[in-house]
Structures are given as structure tokens and as C-alpha cells.
Chain A
Amino acid sequence: MSWISEHLAPLMFGGMVLFMLVGYPAAFSLAATGLFFGFLGIEFGLIRPDFLGNLTFQLFGIISNDLLLAIPFFTFMGAILERCGLAEDLLDSIGQLFGPVRGGMSYAVIFVGAILGAITGTVAASVIAMGVISMTPMLKYGYSTRHTMGVIAASGTITQLIPPSLVLVVLADQLGRSVGDMYAGAIGPSLIQVALFCAWVAILAIVRPQDVPALPLEARTLSGWPLARKCLRGIIPSLGLIFLVLGTIFMGLATPTEAGAMGVVGAIALAAFYGTLTWPLLYQGMASTMRITAMVVYILIGARVFSLVFQGVGGKVWIEDLLTTLPGGQLGFLIFVNIFIFVIAFFLDFFEIAFIIIPLLAPAASKLGIDLIWFGVLVCANIQTSFMHPPFGFALFYLRGIAPPSVKTSDIYWGAIPWVVLQVILVAIVILWPGSVTYWIDKGSNVDPSKIQIDIPQIELPPIQFDAPTPR
């Protein structure tokens, strides 16, 4: 019995893995692990019975967290933009612009992915919009199937790294850093990623020109002034939205949450401008946003129940000892952690990683003197691969749904692999060159983002020893 009580933390971690693997919704599996081991912990005298009473405050802390409001706002904005017609316009015009070049449509997809990424914060919006629009023409004009699938999936997931990414907001919250700094830190790696993608297309254009042909003459319907006008029609509203969301954050005019809300208003206005704004579109957006938000925040609730007890039975100390004693110091830790996240991302989706795994890693990273912004951006770049992993990656899964039956599933998987490798190269660059992250933090935000949050209500979190009306 004493063996169990001494090893309760590792047992609890194993229990969590086991409970999650069963396949019941993760939020409840996590919370159940927490409660089960919570009662064990009380039984063994490791934690005081009223310890679980702190849960109430933790739950209240979650629902009154202003930053988490960014989740529904960015999701809602993405849901509207996905179907408002902006992506069509952008892809069509930029595709024509790059058309004469070999690999032109691939460049267009990458650039539009980056522009959409700078507007929205959610991956689904980008992948869906771009997949629907560009897959058919690319296949039609002779792009190889594998390359088409890969470039669309990869460019859709750039959104995750480019500010205003929702992933960065959630990571900032979990790491206890400011969203503004996190966004500034992600600028460098985002640019490197776009450059890497373009370089890969350029290499392909030389090595395998038959995979990435230039647009045939008859497909280049626009040129000169009409082409310029069409480009502007797509780009001007995009810039407006980018200013509305990113600009207001960087200039210190709005909190990330408010910027998300303004993005929603901007997206609605844009849909109205394109004549695509209908009540069903709006209501579907609201409904899917509500369900995603509820699902995500429930994972957070489950994760809090888990981590409260895990901390109580000494889990944080156990993990910290385990990680800080890894050979190789900072570099060893980062390499280990990144391989770990890369592998675990096959099984867990982003929010599960952010709410379960990151809080376990952050204290150790901090202890090793790793800048948490750098760490967060690194994790973000790494998790991006999880959308692209065969066979569970969401981007691939979605492409399978919209690709014609003639496209083999294996083509989608093989097509993704070079792009996953490019993303791994990006992670390696960011590990070896921290300056790629920190450069823009010093430059980009001369505004102290902590000063933006003037009127934000304080979360009423009493100290942990608060003598609450705890049952029992």
C-alpha cells in the first residue's frame, strides 16, 4: 500500500493515459481521473479533504477569464469568413497574378494562406475555404495530386502560427505571458515558414517541373488593369480586417478579446459587402461556434480537475524533476519536449495538449531559464504539424472529404509528408536561433500590452486556503 501512495503521481499520469485511451470524451475522462485519484489521495492522507473544495474557485476562474472569450470570437469570425467569398476573390486574383510562373498556383495558395492567417485565428476556416476553391483548378491545370494536397493542407495550417492565432492566445494564457508578446514573437517564425514553403515550391519547379506547371494561356483570363482591380478588391478588405484585428492589438487600442469581437463585426460587414450575408450563414456560424467553445472549455474544466489533484499528489514536482534532470540542459530539454509533442500530437488535438501537457512542461522550462514566449512559439510551430500528420491530421481528414474519389487517400498522406518535414525544419530553426522569436518582441510591441487591459474586471480568486463552505 505504501508503494502506491509513494508513486501516486506516476500512477495518476498512467491512469490519465489509460482513461483517455478508452475513447470516452476527453473532458470527462480527465475529470474522472482527477476525482478518482483525488479520493485515493485523501484516503492515503496525501491531500486534505477540503482540497477538492478549491475546484469551485478554479471553475469560476475559467468562466470569468476574459482571455478565453477570444475562443468564441475568433471561431465565429472564422466561420463567417470561411463562406463569405473573400478567399475565392483572393485566390482567383493572386492565382492569375502568379499564373505565368511555374508553380504559380502553389505560390498563390501559400500567400493566400498567409493573408487569411493574418486575418483569422482558426485553422478550419483557412483549410476549408482554400480546399474548396483551389483544389479543382490546380488538378485541372496539371498540378500533381500529391503536391496539390500537400500545399493546400500546409498553407491552411499556417494560420495557426501567424498572429492573431487563437492557438497563441490559449498558449499565452496557459504560460502566463502576454498575448501581445506572444504575437510579436510569432512574426519571425511565420515569415520563415512562408519563405520555407515558397523555397520548396521553387525547388520543385526546377527539379520536377511537371508537378507544378505554369497556367496555360487560355486560363489567364485577366491582365493589366482588370487584374489589378480584382487583386485590390480582394486585398483591400483583407488589409482592413488585418488592421481591425492585429493593428488594434499591436497599437494597444484593444485587448485580444475585443479585437476578436471587432473581427466578427468586420467579417459580418465584409460578408454583407460581398452579398453573401444570410441569416442561415450567421446562425450556422453561431451554432458551430457555441459547440466548439463548449467542447474546448469543458476540456479545460476536465484538465483543471486533473491538474489540481495531480499537483496535490506531488505530480508537478515529479514531472519537474524528471524534465530538469534530462541530459543536455536547455537544448536537451527542448529537443526532448519537441519530439514528445510531435509524437503526442498524433493522438491529442491542440486544445488537449495546451490544457494538459503545457502546464506540466512550463515550470520545468522556466526553471531551465527558457524564455516562455520562445517556448510558446516553438510549441505552436510544433503543434502545427499535428494538423498534417497522416492519418489523423485534421487538415488531411478534411481534404479527404472534399477531394474527388479519383484522388487516392495515400496520395493525400504522401503529399503531406514534405510539408511536415518543412515544418520540422522550422522547429529546428527556431530552437537553434531564438533571435527569430525575440527580435520582433523588442521591435514589434513598443506598447506594453499589460497597459491595454484598463477596464478588465478582476477575477475574484481568493487565496487557495480560503475557508470556503466546502461540503463534507
Chain B
Amino acid sequence: MKALLKISAAIDAVNEKFGFIANYFVLFAALISAGNAGSRYLFSESSNGWLEIQWYMFAGMVLLGAPYTLKMNEHVRVDLVYGMVSERTRIWIDIVGGVLFLLPICVILTYFTWPWFVESWKLNEESSNAGGLLRWPVKLLLPVGFFLMALQGISEIIKRVAALEHVIDIDFKYEKPLQ
């Protein structure tokens, strides 16, 4: 169990780093978008590259940030039942859900999206818009994001099993995220 918890801690640390990067994408994407709109009207300057980098960053904040969001337990749930059951049952729900829902999904989506990236990489595919960006970086984000999510899923399962066996004591408190 000790070794498993070490793995879990390592995964958490990695995804925390990616979450950190994803935070900055929010600010940069907003500044670039506003700057781009401004320069289009002030100087009639605009480029597809700058437009595309915005949604590359959007993809980054979603796909790289979601595993960290899972760690923070901020993916929204239907808490009708979840809110009424005991702490122990909730941990069980998360373990079973992690094994039956999250892991298969993320593995399959990684498996589906990876060949797509490889093809784009081999072709050195570029955007069809003039002045657009290379496509493979954003296509790489898909399998990487789902793979990181699978890892985070494993980490969450380890922590919850450890909590069930009273190896560790963590508060898996869930609050509906504010919107």
C-alpha cells in the first residue's frame, strides 16, 4: 500500500504541474483574444495564427487541467443519492465509478485519439487557414489529456482504497462547484 501511495503522490504532483500551466492558459487566451480583436479594428491587423492559438490554449486548459480538477473533486455530480449516503459508501461509489466508468473511458479515448495525432505528426499537417498553425500539437493534447486523466483516476482510486483500510485519512469532501 505504501508503494501505491507513493505512485499516487507522484501522479498528483505531475497533474498539479499541468494544472498550473492550464491556469496560465486562461489569462493568456483572454489577453490574446482581446488584443487580437483590438488590433483588428485599430490597425486592421489580424492573423489566423493568433486566432488559432486561442483555441489551442482552450484545449490545453480543458485537457491538461481536467485531471487536476478531478484531484480537487470539482467535477460536478448528481448528488441526490451521493449527498445522502455515508462517507464510506461515497468512497465506494468513487472506487467503483473510477474502475468501471473513468478508467475504461479514458483508456478508450486515448486509444482512439492517439493514431490521429500520429498521422498528423507524420504528415506535418498544417491548418487549412492561411497563416495557421501546425496541427499536431493540439491533436497531441487529446491523447495526453485522456492519459493524464486515466492516471489521475488511478491515483484517486489508490487514495480511496487506502482510506477504506485506514492507511490514510483524507477528507473527500464534495461541494457543488460554483458557476
Contacts and interface: CB of A to CB of B under 8 A. Distances in A.
A469 B119 contact: yes
B34 A265 contact: yes
Contacts of A305: 105
Interface string B41-73: 100001010011011001101110110111010
B53 to A, nearest CB: 11
Contact of A258 (B34, B81, B138, B179): B34
A291 interface: yes
Contacts of A60: 116, 139, 142
B175 to A, nearest CB: 9
Given A291-B74, A458-B129, A22 B22 contact: no
A73 B75 contact: no
B79 A290 contact: no
Q: How large is the interface on B (under 10, 10 to 19, 20 to 34, 35 or more residues)?
A: 35 or more
Given A282-B27, A291-B68, A394-B179, A257 B138 contact: no
Given A32-B105, A394-B178, A56 B58 contact: no
B66 A295 contact: yes
Nearest to A31: B105
Interface residues of A, number: 81
B176 interface: yes
B36 interface: yes
A352 B77 CA distance: 10
Contacts of B138: 63-64
Nearest to A19: B101
A411 interface: no
A286 interface: yes
Contacts of A297: 62, 66
Interface stretch (A234-242, A342-350, A434-442): A342-350
A295 B76 contact: yes
A56 B177 contact: no
Given A60-B139, A291-B68, A352-B76, A23 B82 contact: yes
Main secondary structure of the interface of A (DSSP, over half): helix
Interface string A251-293: 0011101101110110000000000000000110011111111
A31 B104 CA distance: 10
A86 interface: no
B93 A28 contact: no
Given A294-B66, A471-B115, A264 B34 contact: yes
B65 A291 contact: yes
B51 A456 contact: yes
Given A124-B178, A124-B179, A253-B41, A59 B77 contact: no
B4 interface: no
A53 B105 contact: no
Interface in A159-179: none
Contact of B75 (A21, A26, A289): A26
30 contacts: A22-B97, A23-B77, A24-B93, A24-B94, A25-B76, A25-B77, A26-B75, A32-B100, A56-B112, A59-B113, A60-B142, A64-B138, A72-B26, A72-B30, A248-B37, A253-B41, A258-B37, A261-B29, A264-B34, A265-B34, A290-B23, A290-B26, A291-B65, A293-B58, A293-B65, A305-B105, A394-B178, A458-B128, A458-B129, A471-B111
Closest 3 CB pairs of A and B: A23-B82, A24-B97, A261-B33
Given A21-B80, A469-B116, 13 more contacts: A25-B70, A122-B179, A261-B34, A262-B34, A265-B31, A288-B178, A290-B22, A293-B26, A293-B58, A295-B69, A347-B80, A349-B176, A469-B115
